[in-house]
Amino acid sequence: MLDILHRLEATSVGTMVRESLYGFPILVGIHLMGLLFSVGMILWFDLRLLGLALGSAPVSRVYRRLIPWATAGYVVMVTTGAMLFTGFASAAYQNPFFRIKVSALILAGANALFYHLVTERGRESWDDNPVPPRRARLAGLVSIALWATVIMCGRLMAYTMY
């Protein structure tokens, strides 16, 4: 595995991330903006699920309005994140906070999938409710906790990797 990661680091993208004067800071800046837009919008959908905000609009409509923005931010965040990873692949792979971050990202995806496949069934009966049922509120709470973990681990990586 480490051999593959070292080869990844030797690619032109990996070298640019490590050695370019502006490459790394620009990528980190774009990565941060992607994260803030993506998590920022997901947070408002989660707050709607928790019944804490935007209660005058149906859950499905809030989802339709916010998720395109969250998706755009997510694409930017993942693309720049992958490029940053290329520059320090072996160090990141061995970093415990990186592993927790990736696990939390996967769990956040699984939580979203579970919401769409299971929790959302019969949504028509509670779509307009200012406070959705407990299972939907739980999905929102889990999502917030997982994204907070992703953000904190991302920041902690900077103190334990380089």
Partner 1 sequence: MLETLQNSWLAHAVNESQVITASLSALHLIGFTLVMSSAVVTGLRMIGVTLLEVPIIDVIRPATRTMLIGLALSASTGFLLFVPRAAGAAANPIFRAKLTLLVGALLLQFAVTRRVARRSAAHSAAQRSAGAFGLALWVGVALAGCAFILWE
Q: Return residues touching partner 1 (CB under 8 A).
A: 24-25, 28-29, 32-33, 35-37, 39-41, 43-44, 47, 52-57, 61-62, 65-66, 69, 148, 151-156, 158-160
**From the CB of 156, what's the least distance to partner 1, in Å?**
5
SS3 state of residue 71 = helix
User: To the nearest 10°, the Cα dihedral for 154, 37, 74, 26?
Assistant: -60
Smallest gap from Cβ 40 to partner 1, in A, equals: 3
Indicate the residue among 82 and 148 with the shorter CB distance to partner 1: 148
Place of tokens 């061995």: 94
Residue closer to partner 1 by CB (options 61, 121) is 61
Least distance (Å) between residue 93 CB and partner 1? 20
Q: List the structure tokens of 48.
A: 């709607």
Residue 93: Cβ within 10 Å count:
16
- Looking at beta carbons only, is 23 or 114 nearer to partner 1? 23
- Closest to 80 measured CA to CA, from 38, 111, 21: 38
